[in-house]
Amino acid sequence: MKRKLAIIISAVLAVGTVLSSCQVEKVSDSKSSGSNDTIKIGVFEPLTGANAGGGELEVEGIKLANKLYPEVNGKKIELVIVDNKSDKVEASNAASRLVEKDKVTAIIGSWGSSLSMAAGDIIKKAKIPTIATSATNPLVTKGNDYYFRVCFIDPFQGTVMANYAYSKLNAKKVAIVQEVSNDYAVGLAKYFTDSFTKLTGDSKAIVSVSNYNTGDQDFSAQLTNIKSQNPDVIFAPGNFTESALLIKQARDLGIKAPIIGGDTWETPDFLKIGGSAVEGSVFSTFFATEKPITKESEKFLTEYKKEYNKEPAAVSALAYDAYLLLVDGLKRTGSEDSVKLRDELVKTKDFQGAAGVVNFDEDRNAVKAAVIKQVKDGKFTYLDLIEPTK
């Protein structure tokens, strides 16, 4: 009898584990999910794990957009939000759930190129149009007709930061320290290297390349090596947590060289973890509150501050735009047929989003300007706007 009871308990626990593998949140005014009066838009974002800070910021933008624009074609829009747990396998599982179980018409996500790429094959096979919010690695959309993005890509971002190091910081020698387990960081480091080497005309302009893994907390070995190279600038693309710790340890070690990075730094956690050590750090990003670009930018800024009582991050504006683009595509399509929606999204021209005007290139990447910001007095401060070359 005890053995049978143990087997039953084990079975119940196993079922509970399966059901909790993807945390799902539904946001809708509709009483019956999936009814004829409802259109489902799936969202897969990291709400737990290493990238949770970024995922939460993007979900804030999506929820605000849904609140301001809750209907399209006479139907309510229901958000089905799934936590991909900052994990590639979970990202794939989350996308599968949205496609197979929730039967969504379109998807938004994710923070993190690796997480977005992990869902790529599922999205492509199911023919569900998906808009990446802040995933900048070119491979997210390359060869996948159903993946779009509302941000610029790393070849442009890498060139922008290489130009900044060379022209503004007068750097001739740069050390790179990258989060090698992160596709975003590795890709951005490559494009920076290619551009900086070309600018200097020196094949040895990159004096060292150091690696670390997601979740690492001790960077003393990498930093000791970098200090011995005495670079003019350190380029450190990576997640906000590890980057902040790395900068803090660099300053503790007496490294005074400017440290620059990419868009993932723009989170409150970067400032909180890094403290005074990240003062003066410079990075590229997508949007500046000081420079509203469109009427939608002004509306977004006003409504975001009213809703969350804080200044928005660039990724919140991008996520807001991803939702608005889907609403615009659905409106033009006149139905929730996913294939027709994809075909309509491709035709998008001069879309006026909160984070700027969106036009897609041949790989469905948004062609738009980059913003350069600096940490000043403990806040993210606008420095410059860099337009893409025509």
Model confidence pLDDT, tens digit, residues 3-61? 444 444 444 444 444 434 455 666 543 333 345 899 999 999 999 999 999 999 999 99
Model confidence pLDDT, tens digit, residues 192-235? 999 999 999 999 999 999 999 999 999 999 999 999 999 999 99
Token digits of residue 166: 């060379």
Q: What is the mean pLDDT of residues 305-332?
A: 97
Averaged pLDDT score across all residues of the chain:
91
Q: Is the pLDDT of residue 293 over 70?
A: yes
The whole-angstrom separation of Cα 254 and Cα 220 is 12
Burial 177-213 (b: 16+ CB within 10 A, else e): bbbbbbbbbbbbbbbbbebbbebbeeeebbbbbbebe
**Cα three-residue angle 338-343-345, rounded to 5 degrees:** 90
Q: What is the pLDDT of residue 27?
A: 59
Helices (H) and strands (E) in the chain, counts: 13, 16
The whole-angstrom separation of Cα 249 and Cα 265 is 16
Terminal alpha carbon distance of the chain? 76
Q: Is the dihedral of CA 66, 70, 73, 77 positive or negative?
A: positive
The whole-angstrom separation of Cα 130 and Cα 143 is 14
Using left for φ > 0, alpha for ψ between -120 and 50, and beta otherwise, residue 378 falls in left
Distances (CA, A) of 388 to 148, 157, 177, 197, 360: 19, 10, 26, 20, 13
Q: What is the mean pLDDT of residues 84-89?
A: 96
The whole-angstrom separation of Cα 87 and Cα 65 is 26
Give the pTM: 0.83
Q: Is the pLDDT of residue 87 over 80?
A: yes
Q: What is the mean pLDDT of residues 103-130?
A: 97
Q: 362 CB contacts (<8 Å, ≥6 apart)?
A: none
The whole-angstrom separation of Cα 292 and Cα 361 is 23
Q: Is 308 exposed, middle or buried (0-12, 13-18, 19+ CB in 10 A)?
A: middle
Q: Is the pLDDT of residue 236 over 60?
A: yes
Token digits of residue 362: 């041949």
Cα 302 off chain centre by? 23
List Cβ<8 Å contacts ≥24 apart for 299-306.
299/68, 299/354, 300/64, 300/354, 301/354, 303/64, 303/68, 304/60, 304/61, 304/64
CB 115 within 8 A of CB 88: yes
Q: What is the pLDDT of residue 289?
A: 86
Q: Is the dihedral of CA 278, 84, 79, 31 positive or negative?
A: negative
Q: What is the pLDDT of residue 26?
A: 62
